[in-house]
Each structure stands twice: as structure tokens, then as C-alpha cells.
């Protein structure tokens, strides 16, 4: 969902959204829709605050036995997004590079919630996933 910034200027916006499709790359696939529950509001200097919860099931391939298995993700998040114009000024003033900022930057006059869910989900997916069987073998 693309949330125009004007929608949150005067009051916070509650978001409940089912996201059917998220491109997680070739190694992971979303099973059923991801569920997003959150609240978006605006702070000082058009800084967007977005907090909430993501629930998603992802089909992964085990790196050891190559079997496919499902993994449930429950992610609590609390993020800040700066408008690009402001972020650039901030970087110049503090001589920061883009990597130094712990906040995300938004480039337009809207925030795309599916992009946010994608980014948060990709971070949580293990780079070398092990299925429950192989994980049990590891621990024994
Ligand atoms: Zn396995």
C-alpha cells in the first residue's frame, strides 16, 4: 500500500494490510499473504514513525538436505523514515555518509508499506537456512 504523507499529517494512521506478493529473491518464497498491523505517524521535520508487527510464513530450502520447509516469522518493528531532502542536509551538516544514518530515507511524498515489509522480512531470513530435521541433528 502506498500511504501518501498528507494522510498522516494531522493524525496517525492505523494500517492493517494483507500483502499477497513480496519478492524475496530466488531462495525464499512467501506462503500466503504477509499480515501487517501498524501505525504510522509524523514527527518533527516530516520524520515518519512507523511501528507495528509483521506476520509471515516463508518457504525456505535447507542448505544441507535441500528439502523445502516453512518458517513462520513474527517481527515487531519500530522504524523511522526521513524525507530525502532533509536527510541530505543532515548528512552535509554532520559530515555523515548515507551508511551512518540509522534511519531509512524516503524519496517521494508517499511511503510504500510493502517495500518496508520486504526489507524487514529479508533481514530476518537466515542466509543459510536449516530445516528442523537438520537443526535437530546439529543439536544432538
Ligand atoms: Zn535439512
Q: Map residue 97 onto helix, strand or coil.
A: coil
Q: Give the distance (Å) from ligand 1 centre to CA of residue 130.
A: 5
Q: Give the distance (Å) from ligand 1 centre to CA of residue 59.
A: 13
Q: How many domains does the chain have?
A: 1
* Nearest residue to 78 via CA among 101, 56, 50: 50
CA atoms of 44 and 17, how far apart (whole Å):
26
CB atoms closer than 10 angstroms to residue 81: 21
pLDDT in tens, the chain (140 residues): 999 988 999 999 999 999 999 999 888 999 999 999 999 999 888 889 999 999 999 999 999 999 999 999 999 999 988 887 666 666 566 665 555 555 677 777 889 999 999 999 999 999 999 999 999 998 77
Q: Give the distance (Å) from ligand 1 centre to CA of residue 115.
A: 30
Stated length of the chain: 140
What's the pTM value of the predicted model, to 2 decimals?
0.82
Q: Give the distance (Å) from ligand 1 centre to CA of residue 27.
A: 14
Write out the residue range of the structural domain in which residue 44 sits: 2-139
Amino acid at each position: 500500500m502506498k500511504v501518501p504523507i498528507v494522510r498522516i499529517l494531522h493524525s496517525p494512521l492505523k494500517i492493517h494490510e494483507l500483502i499477497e506478493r513480496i519478492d524475496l529473491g530466488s531462495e525464499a518464497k512467501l506462503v500466503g499473504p504477509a499480515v501487517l498491523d501498524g501505525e504510522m505517524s509524523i514527527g518533527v521535520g516530516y520524520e515518519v514513525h512507523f511501528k507495528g508487527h509483521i506476520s509471515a510464513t516463508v518457504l525456505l530450502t535447507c542448505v544441507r538436505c535441500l528439502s523445502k520447509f516453512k518458517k513462520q516469522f513474527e517481527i515487531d518493528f519500530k522504524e523511522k523514515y526521513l524525507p530525502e531532502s532533509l536527510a541530505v542536509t543532515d548528512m552535509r551538516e554532520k559530515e555523515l555518509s548515507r551508511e551512518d544514518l540509522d534511519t531509512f530515507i524516503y524519496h517521494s511524498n508517499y511511503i510504500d508499506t510493502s517495500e518496508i515489509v520486504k526489507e524487514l522480512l529479508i533481514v530476518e531470513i537466515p542466509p543459510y537456512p536449516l530445516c528442523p530435521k537438520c537443526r535437530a541433528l546439529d543439536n544432538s
